[in-house]
Amino acid sequence: MRIRGQYRSKKYRQLLWRNCVIQSMSRRGNCLDNSPMERVFRSLKNEWAPAVGYMTLQHALSDIRT
């Protein structure tokens, strides 16, 4: 079984590129490489987002931008 194989596939990377998304993956064996971004997403989920979620994408984006 290959872990994260789908994230390295050419089709997936092309989809990211077309949508101006920068991919971030840790180096093998170094779990701390991506810890700054993991912290951002943890804060986003636990501190900024309401417990019940958002009704619309626009409301979520508005909340994140402020």
Per residue of the chain (66 residues), give pLDDT as tens: 344 566 678 888 888 899 998 877 666 767 677 788 888 888 888 887 787 888 899 988 888 787
Taking the whole predicted model, whether its pTM rises above 0.95 is answered as no
Cα–Cα distance for residue pair 18/8, rounded to 1 Å: 15
Cα–Cα distance for residue pair 55/52, rounded to 1 Å: 9
Structural domains of the chain, count: 1
Q: Which of 54, 25, 22 is nearest to 38 (CA)?
A: 25
Write out the two tokens for 46.
């636990």
Residue 47, domain extent: 5-25+33-65
User: How much is the pLDDT for 27?
Assistant: 67
User: How much is the pLDDT for 58?
Assistant: 92
